């Protein structure tokens, strides 16, 4: 049986209000917060498709037909002392996720070769731990980033948790890190429901250190944690205020053993609507659909581009498998879109403060 969400008739006044916001964003103005809140509350499939068509126009206008591809390699997995309730890598939960210590430099260069041969622009080195401070681990990581940059294979990116001082961020920048992923995850209001071992403000401070160092900011969140639509809206505005360059949107894939294992999944239409609302709020940013996309969007996956996505996380995720890269590339080409091979395009964006 179809839900009422899907069977509501087309509403002309909704159509006009969506169009008004769309025209405003296309003209270069910011969407008003109350209009964005209203978009997040749309329910009917007809209204949501109307919203997607405007999000698609906004993506085309600001991002053209290029789809930016990033990939990640887990350089240290599992055993993280934080207790993020969605995460298979937290030491607080019993999960089947593999654990390993820092991998050697050969493994990183091999991942870079693979990423390059797949046409991926940025390769993020990811570690599960509390965060980075000065010491031998930072020295070793900086040597790996310098080696990766020197190889010229891919853009060296990082996702190494919280940063405790400006000096650490400056050293990463000097070693060649161009972009750092550190998600806000959700709204400030909802954050204590997903993690209690650190504070939202510490995440924000990490992003400030990175920005100050001149490193590009990749920061987004996870949908489907039990947050409200208002939380999603607040997250998008918080990312805008912080000046994120790339905004990854993950969708929860509940993992056995974590407290969110039994979380009710979002519908594909709810996810697509949320991506579209992010595009209205963040028209110039790369909006990247990342973890959980194939399992949650299912057959509606390619509609993420119509919803305004301009970037994809390609290859496997940290703790879940993804589509083969060839399949993603085929999907992009089938839609008349173009994988963005220009590994310098992102640096240009950071320079322009986007």
- Judged by CB, which is closer to ligand SF4: 33, or 100? 100
Q: From the CB of 25, what's the least distance to ligand SF4, in Å?
A: 32
Cα–Cα distances (Å) from 111 to 108, 261, 267, 316, in that order, read 5, 30, 33, 12
- Judged by CB, which is closer to ligand SF4: 90, or 310? 90
Cβ distance 133 to 168 under 8 Å? Answer: yes
Of 247, 233, 46, the closest CA to residue 18 belongs to 46
- With CB under 6 A as the contact rule, the residue among 128, 222, 282, 289 that binds ligand SF4 is 128
80 binds ligand SF4 (CB under 6 A): yes
- With CB under 6 A as the contact rule, the residue among 89, 118, 274, 349 that binds ligand SF4 is 89
Tokens 């992923």, located at residue: 181
184 binds ligand SF4 (CB under 6 A): no
Q: From the CB of 203, what's the least distance to ligand SF4, in Å?
A: 10
Q: What is the DSSP letter of 212?
A: H
Q: What is the DSSP letter of 299?
A: G
- Judged by CB, which is closer to ligand SF4: 122, or 161? 161
Cβ distance 72 to 124 under 8 Å? Answer: yes
181 binds ligand SF4 (CB under 6 A): no
- C-alpha 271 chain-centroid distance: 14
Q: From the CB of 153, what's the least distance to ligand SF4, in Å?
A: 26
CA atoms of 313 and 142, how far apart (whole Å)? 24
- With CB under 6 A as the contact rule, the residue among 22, 44, 122, 161 that binds ligand SF4 is 161
51 binds ligand SF4 (CB under 6 A): no
Q: From the CB of 326, what's the least distance to ligand SF4, in Å?
A: 29
- Judged by CB, which is closer to ligand SF4: 121, or 258? 258
84 binds ligand SF4 (CB under 6 A): yes
How do 221-223 and 286-289 pair as beta strands? Answer: unpaired
Q: From the CB of 151, what's the least distance to ligand SF4, in Å?
A: 26
Q: From the CB of 209, what's the least distance to ligand SF4, in Å?
A: 17
CA atoms of 179 and 126, how far apart (whole Å)? 12
The stretch near ligand SF4 (CB under 6 A) out of 6-14, 77-85, 225-233, 246-254 is 77-85
87 binds ligand SF4 (CB under 6 A): yes
- With CB under 6 A as the contact rule, the residue among 14, 56, 74, 90 that binds ligand SF4 is 90
- Please, which residues have CB within 8 angstroms of residue 284's CB and are 6 or more apart in sequence? 62, 63, 354
Angle formed at CA 85 by CA 228 and CA 71, multiple of 5 degrees? 90
Number of residues in contact with ligand SF4 under rule CB under 6 A:
8
Cα–Cα distances (Å) from 142 to 51, 134, 146, 157, 173, in that order, read 44, 11, 6, 12, 9
Q: Which stretches of the chain bind ligand SF4, using CB under 6 A? A: 80, 82, 84, 87, 89-90, 128, 161
């Amino acid at each position: 049986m179809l839900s009422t969400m899907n069977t509501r008739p087309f509403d002309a006044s909704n159509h006009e209000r969506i169009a008004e916001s769309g025209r405003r964003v296309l003209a270069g103005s910011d969407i008003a917060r109350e209009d964005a809140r209203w978009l997040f509350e749309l329910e009917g499939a007809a209204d949501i498709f109307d919203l997607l068509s405007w999000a698609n126009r906004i993506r085309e206008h600001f991002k053209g037909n290029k789809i930016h591809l990033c990939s990640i390699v887990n350089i240290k997995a599992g055993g993280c002392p934080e207790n993020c309730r969605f995460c298979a890598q937290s030491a607080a939960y019993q999960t089947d996720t593999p654990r390993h210590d820092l991998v050697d430099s050969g493994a990183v260069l091999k991942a870079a070769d693979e990423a390059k041969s797949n046409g991926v622009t940025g390769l993020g080195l990811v570690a599960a731990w509390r965060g980075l401070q000065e010491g031998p681990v930072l020295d070793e990581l900086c040597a790996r980033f310098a080696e990766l940059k020197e190889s010229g294979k891919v853009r060296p990116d990082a996702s190494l948790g919280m940063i405790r001082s400006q000096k650490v961020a400056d050293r990463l920048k000097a070693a060649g890190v161009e972009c750092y992923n550190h998600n806000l995850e959700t709204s400030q209001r909802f954050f204590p429901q997903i993690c209690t071992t650190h504070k939202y403000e510490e995440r924000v401070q990490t992003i400030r250190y990175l920005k100050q160092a001149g490193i590009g900011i990749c920061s987004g969140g996870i949908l489907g944690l039990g947050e409200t639509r208002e939380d999603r809206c607040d997250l998008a505005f918080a990312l805008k205020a912080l000046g994120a360059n790339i905004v990854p949107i993950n969708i929860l894939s509940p993992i056995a053993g974590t407290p969110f294992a039994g979380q009710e999944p979002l519908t594909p239409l709810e996810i697509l609507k949320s991506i579209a609302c992010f595009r209205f709020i963040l028209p110039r940013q790369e909006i990247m659909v990342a973890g959980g996309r194939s399992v949650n969007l299912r057959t509606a996956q390619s509609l993420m581009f119509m919803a305004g996505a301009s970037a994809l996380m390609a290859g496997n995720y940290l703790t879940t498998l993804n589509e083969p890269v060839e399949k993603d590339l085929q999907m992009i080409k089938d839609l008349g879109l173009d994988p963005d091979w220009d590994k310098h395009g992102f640096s240009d964006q950071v320079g322009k403060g986007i």
